[in-house]
Structure 1
Amino acid sequence: MSWGAQVLLALLLCRGLAGGLWHMEQSSGGGQAADRPASCSPPSNKSLRKAARAGRVTGDQLCEALNRADLPALPGTPAERKKILGRQAALSCDQTIGIGFDLGGGNATAAPGGIARTLVVAPDTKDSGGSYEVAVWRQDGGLPDDAALLRGAEKVLPAVPGRDGS
């Protein structure tokens, strides 16, 4: 296949993918998050008796135990929440992948990399869905500085085109 045909095929595939994603967002309510907790289905007497005989907990009982308003606070998650430029934000960590290329034609190598620190910020004050992410990592394998990440986000995010500046 010629390079022109490959480019055309790639453009058509990207357009189709973008259209599919747009359609999914429109059909899912425009990205509005539900404000209510998950619901648990009512347990059946048969499953309760069977679990009680076996000395186990049913999925329904586990759902009821975990369906708490303060569940995110139990592992300390709210400590990772921030307000950036008047918007809700959250910090998280993730492992990066180190990839090495042999420019002499040899094999590429892959190994665990360092830690990336990511800040996820709501695009508007209404927290109506969507997010902006800013991630930093260090090449020396050390932990990124949260204060530097927050300062950088406060400088960079106001310059993002289409971002609600209010």
Structure 2
Amino acid sequence: MSDRTDGAAKVTNVWGQAISAVALVTVFVIGFWALMRTQNADGTGGDAKPAACTGGAAEKGDEAAGRVHGAQLCKALNRTDLAALVGTPGEVAKSASGSGGSIGTAPHPSARVELDTYTVTLAATYNRLTVATTTELLGAEVTPRKVLGRTGALYSDRTIGIGFRLDGSDATSTPGVPARVLVVPLHAKDSGGFFELTLWRADGGVPDDATLLKVADRVLPTVPGWAS
């Protein structure tokens, strides 16, 4: 029993770092938000135009290793029908971005698209941790779920709100909103690494799993290398 508990704790720590360190951090910077709204508005002061993806260019070694980069993830996520998929047709992307980086030695490209009602993130983690092993060790904390023929897992998390002060003093953090997360193996054989799709609501409501799965069904097959 002790060995199993210790193992679960270790995997929780590893997976928690890989999943929560980047994707679930929301940054509230009023000046930046206002700037993005201005840039996304059309010249006549009418409705905002959908944001185009920025950032996330390929990093050294990505192509040779067959890894996706943040710009590719953003392109897959920033679909014209994303708002319809999450049940809010008519909304447009307020911001859309990709990024690179790593968690420890594991490459961790990611993308984020923000709508008025929902924010969606998509990340890929390239390590040796399999979804099956994690699901087994964490037991009731996650729910296995078939996604496009692969066995993924659903679980709950919470965002973190971070505020930066214009006077340069220390940033502040506040509890965020509930999020639902879906992890799916990078490869059909679940040989290590995973995609992570996260959904949360601006109003603090708990996202519906059916909505998250609908997004996964449409987005994941468009990610380069998905079929491998």
Q: Scaled by the length of structure 1, what TM-score is found? A: 0.51
**Alignment of structure 1 residues 104-115 onto 2, 5 Å:** 105=167, 108-115=171-178
The answer as to 2:105 corresponding to 1:21 is: yes
Quick one: distance in 2 between partners of 1:131 and 1:124?
8
Quick one: distance in 1 between partners of 2:156 and 2:214?
17
**Aligned residue in 2 for 1:95:** 158
Tell which has more relative contact order, 1 or 2 (C-alpha 8 A, sep 6+): 2
Unpaired stretches in structure 1, ≥5 consecutive residues: 1-13, 23-29, 37-70
1:72–1:110 distance in 2 versus 1, CA, 3 Å? closer
The answer as to 2:214 corresponding to 1:151 is: yes
SS at match of 2:105: helix
Identity of counterpart residues, as a percentage? 46
The answer as to 2:185 corresponding to 1:122 is: yes
Shift of 1:72: 5.6
1:102-155 per-position Cα deviation (integer Å, ceiling 9, x unaligned): 6x6586542101011110001222111111000011111110110000000111
Quick one: distance in 1 between partners of 2:129 and 2:192?
6
Q: CA RMSD in A?
A: 3.6
Quick one: distance in 1 between partners of 2:214 and 2:128?
28
1:98–1:31 distance in 2 versus 1, CA, 3 Å? closer
**Alignment of structure 1 residues 1-166 onto 2, 5 Å:** 21=105, 31=128, 76=140, 80-101=143-164, 105=167, 108-164=171-227
SS at match of 1:161: coil
1:70-90 per-position Cα deviation (integer Å, ceiling 9, x unaligned): x769x5357x11000000100
- Kindly tell me the number of residue pairs found equivalent between the two proteins: 106
1:5-64 per-position Cα deviation (integer Å, ceiling 9, x unaligned): xxxxxxxxx86x97x937xxxxxxx8376x99xxxxxxxxxxxxxxxxxxxxxxxxxxxx
Quick one: distance in 2 between partners of 1:136 and 1:96?
10
Larger Rg: 1
Residue identity in the other structure for 1:76: A
Shift of 1:162: 1.9
Question: Which structure has more strand as a fraction of its residues?
Answer: 2
1:21–1:110 distance in 2 versus 1, CA, 3 Å? closer
Residue identity in the other structure for 1:21: T
Residue identity in the other structure for 1:124: H
Residue identity in the other structure for 1:123: L
**Is the 1:123–1:164 Cα contact (8 Å) retained in structure 2?**
no
**Is the 1:115–1:142 Cα contact (8 Å) retained in structure 2?**
yes
Question: Which structure has more helix as a fraction of its residues?
Answer: 1
Unpaired stretches in structure 2, ≥5 consecutive residues: 1-58, 61-100, 107-126
